[in-house]
Amino acid sequence: MWKSSNSSAAPDIARVMALLTQAGHTPAQVAAAVGVTVRTARRWAAGTQRPNRSNHAGLREWVLDIRRDNAMRTRMDPAVDDLLFAALEALRTQAEQAGIVARGAAPLTTRVDPFAVVVDDTIRALAAAEALFA
């Protein structure tokens, strides 16, 4: 059962928040991106509370977006990508422990290849354009 209260998985979110801080993101940025209060984001950072399912998914999507943006830069920062990847891995582990995803199911994280991101986005854009004219 997924709970937003204290639990043994709370340290995982504290690790995620610490990694995001190391990558240059504040609790206020996390709160704004996920749609929670800064106080809630600080509780996540302290490990005294963890996100509910919706917030967990929103946090994961936000971190994925940050990684894509980092990968698309002319000079991708590998250290930032490593921190964000570690944060995503911690989120995946937390989701597995909470039963949101099955262990060994399709991975929520992969290493970002900037060229692959561009190709994937281009393919999606072309497919969407073709659907408009079909």
- pLDDT of residue 29 exceeding 70, the answer is yes
Contact of 81 with 49, CB cutoff 8 Å:
no
What is the Cα–Cα distance from 92 to 98, expressed in whole angstroms? 10
pTM: predicted TM-score of the whole model, two decimal places: 0.63
pLDDT tens digits, residue range 1-15? 334 444 455 558 888
The stretch 84-96 carries a mean pLDDT of 80
Q: How far is CA 55 from the centre of its chain?
A: 10
Distance of alpha carbon 83 from alpha carbon 26, whole angstroms: 14
Task: Delimit the domains of the chain by residue range.
Answer: 10-133
d(Cα 22, Cα 3) in Å, to the nearest integer? 27
Please check the confidence at residue 40 and state whether its pLDDT lies above 60. yes
